[in-house]
Amino acid sequence: MFKKLVSLCLAVLMVAGLCAGFAGCAKANADFKIGVILLHDESSTYDKNFITAVEDAQKALGLSNSQVIIKKGIPEGNECYETAKDLVAEGCKVIFADSFGHEDFMIKAAKEFPEVQFCHATGTKAHTEKLSNYHNAFASIYEGRYLAGIAAGLKLKAMMEADSTIVPKIGYVGAFTYAEVISGYTSFYLGVKEIVPTVTMEVQFTGSWYDEAEEKNAANALINMGCVLISQHADSMGAPSACEDKGIPNVSYNGSTVSSCPNTFIVSSRIDWAPYVKYICEQTMAGKAIDTDWTGTISTGSVKLTDLGSKAPVEGTQAIIDQYKAELVAGTRHVFDTNNFTVNGEKLTSYLADVDDDGTYTGDTEVVKDGYFHESEYRSAPYFDMEIDGIHRINSKF
């Protein structure tokens, strides 16, 4: 009985193996391949944003699935380096990684394979490593958050006009006290302040990029403190759903939350990585150099705002957003214009930012010139990390 079963199984296996052999022969040899290394899979909004971008770029370039290899769930350790090597062995000409902690392991692989291009989103070391095949990329998402702030400001103004007892205090749920988060909430605050000059903001950190319960708690704590509008920089639905429960308007991040928060969703900003993925593929295929530090902007299509919510936003918001957007694109308006904020009661005239990630955590580059803070110009990843007046951090242990 068992022998029969085993021989049957073996026969099936052999036939299957034969089929596999033929299937393998049929595949055409394509000379261009890109490898993509992701920290999680689509269950994280952060990684899902990258997956969507890669698939969009693939479609635009007409590449087949075998030419775009996506490796999900790669931790920030030796396995990243191992995966990069594996992708090289599979014939990838350019390799892209999406998480900040992948950086050192990508650099290690870049040094070993000088003929392959390595591109890393959110990293900080490309401009100091000076490798011709290692590149960083980010987007001027502070401009997107500023525009989202404008939409929030209009809502806040309307709320104050409707009810004169409302104190203009808003709340923000942040992940870590990291420049990317600080730059984000400051630009959001400045957007709101543009419309409501008396606004103040409370920031609560969670110490994690993804912690649904903690983000929900933080949002609820802010609401209980009297914050009348909430935004966040963390990857779960914690804060938006807390806002929906309590009827507090919310500005989201990474994508629209209108389907689960129809009453309170105003707008969301997000980085669209498709233009960058497309760019690195095209440059590699053409044998051209890739920028060491690439900063996507509104013009490149990298910084995007979603459609406005259906109920929460004020009428006419889109037109005002478009007007500010045009000014940002034209360069006549700067988010971090030193006339629009103060630090310790004084106007900012000079600031040494920690642009070179050399392990010393000290400022090294003057970034205030021509009356504004030059964010994402000396490297693509944000470095605005100041505490400006009007924003209060409730906890800063992270």
Partner 1 sequence: MANVRHGTVKEPFIHITKNAAMPFWKGLLIRASAVIAAFILCSLLAYFLIGANPGEFLKTFFEGNFGSNAASAKLRIWKLAKDTAILLCIALAITPAFRMRFWNIGAEGQVLISALASVAVVYYNAGRLEDGPLLVLMFIASIAAGMIWAVIPAIFKALWNANETLFTLMMNYVATFFVAYCLVKWTPNGSSVLGELKTGHLPSFGHDYLVLILVVLVTTAFMFVYLYYSKHGYEISVVGESQRTACYIGINVKKVIIRTMALSGALCGLTGFLLVAALDHSVTTTSVGGRGFTAIIVSWLAKFNPLIMIGTALLLVFLNHGAGQLATVFRVSFAFPDVVTGIVIFFVIGCEFFIRYKVHFRRKTRTAQVADNGSGGGGGALDSPGDNEKPDIVPDKGGKLK
Binding site for partner 1 (CB under 8 A): 2, 5-6, 9-10, 12-13, 16-24, 41-43, 65-66, 69-73, 75-78, 82, 85-86, 88-90, 100-101, 103-105, 108, 176-179, 181-182, 207-208, 354, 361, 385, 397-398
Q: Which secondary structure element, helix H or strand E, spans residue 353, and what is its range?
A: strand 352-353
Cβ neighbors of 211 (< 8 A, separation 6 or more) are 234, 236, 238
Q: Which is closer to partner 1, CB of 101 or CB of 390? A: 101
Exposed (0-12), middle (13-18) or buried (19+): which is 365, by Cβ within 10 Å?
middle
Tell me the closest approach of the beta carbon of residue 20 to partner 1, in angstroms: 4
Question: Which of residues 37 and 281 has its CB atom nearest to partner 1 in the complex?
Answer: 37
Nearest distance in Å: CB 203, partner 1: 13
Specify the DSSP element, H or E, that contains 398. Answer: none
Measured distance CA(294)–CA(376) in Å, rounded: 9
Spatial contact of 45 and 255, defined as CB atoms under 8 Å apart: yes
The conformation of residue 66, written as its DSSP 8-state character, comes to G
**Distance between CA 357 and CA 104 in Å, rounded?**
12
Nearer to partner 1, 41 or 322 (CB): 41
- CA-wise closest residue to 368 among 332, 393, 343, 396: 343
Q: Which CB atom, from 6 or from 329, has the smaller least distance to partner 1?
A: 6
Q: Give 362: exposed, middle or buried? Use CB within 10 Å, 0-12, 13-18, 19+.
A: exposed
Residue 140 is encoded by which pair of tokens? Answer: 């001027």
Which residue lies nearer to partner 1 by CB, 107 or 192? 107
Q: Tell me the DSSP string of 149-196.
A: HHHHHHHHHHHHHH-TT---EEEEEES-S-HHHHHHHHHHHHHHHHH-
Q: Least distance (Å) from partner 1 to the CB of residue 253?
A: 18
Reference 269, options 321, 312, 218; nearest CA is 321
How many angstroms separate the CA atoms of 48 and 262, rounded?
22
Q: How far is the CB of 263 from partner 1 (least distance, A)?
A: 30
Q: Residue 398: which of 173, 110, 87 has the closest Cα?
A: 173
Nearest-approach distance from CB 128 to partner 1, in angstroms? 13
Give the nearer residue to partner 1 in terms of CB position, either 101 or 301.
101
Q: Based on CB atoms, which residue is closest to partner 1, 206 or 264?
A: 206
Closest approach of partner 1 to the CB of residue 108, in Å: 7
User: Cβ of residue 179: shortest distance to partner 1, in angstroms?
Assistant: 7
**Cβ-based nearer residue to partner 1, 216 or 393:** 393
Diameter over CA atoms, the chain: 88
Q: Which is nearer to partner 1, 39 or 280 (CB)?
A: 39
Shortest distance, position 176 Cβ to partner 1, whole Å? 5
What's the min distance (Å) between Cβ of 226 and partner 1?
27
Are 24 and 59 in contact, with CB atoms under 8 Å apart? Answer: no
